[in-house]
Amino acid sequence: MRRKYCILSFLIIITALNFCSIPLAVKALEDNKSFVAIADSFIDEGDPDANFGGFTYLYVGYRYNWTKAFIKFDLLTSPKNFHKAELRIAFTYVENSSLLEIYDTNTGWGEYSITWNNSPIFGNLIASSYIPGDTQLYEHIKIDITDDLETITGYWSIVLTLANMSLIKIAPKEHAPPPTILYYYQTSDLLMFGKTTLVGSIGVVIVGVVFYRLRLRKSKRS
């Protein structure tokens, strides 16, 4: 009989300990890393040899003539395990509702040397975004560019244009909030245990131990 109770108590304890080791959830710990533009400028078709690096705004659209904005980032230290990437730009002026188009381009241009005549040609269309006329100014809008940055590990350059005859002004890197790329990535996993499960399991262990000791005393008296 004594051996029977010992085995029963042992099984209760083992079961409770195994139950304690089962996590109720796995929570991913996330972080983010931002990269502010390292160079930006706009070009003006009406003044094809002029450079506008360091200008107060980045003009995009029709301002007496067509304008386009170039922005460059250094992504050499970007996280490799990111699951989302956003381009964030802020408007300081929106004339009318507009369709913003963003293309990638080569990075061989300089902020204080790029002009309409020497600007690089467009690459692939990265994204297009509808910009309402009542867009909140001086606040970042977010454009998903996750797929476009999967293989980018160094300098990355884009050009912004409008598909309709309107005008927008974008805050440059010298002014807040500047053009920024934000990466979201997972750092580790955290095992989360439920309080009820843990407390209940501990309770089962205590009951098993008490039960075992009581049966042991009773068997000694008999």
pLDDT score, position 146: 96
Regions of the chain with pLDDT less than 70: 1-28, 188-222
Amino acid at 105: T
pLDDT per residue over 138-194, tens digit each? 999 999 999 999 999 899 999 999 999 999 999 999 999 999 999 999 886 555 555
pLDDT score, position 169: 97
pLDDT score, position 183: 97
pLDDT score, position 217: 61
Lookup result for tokens 């450079």: 51
Question: What predicted TM-score, i.e. pTM, was given to this entire model?
Answer: 0.74
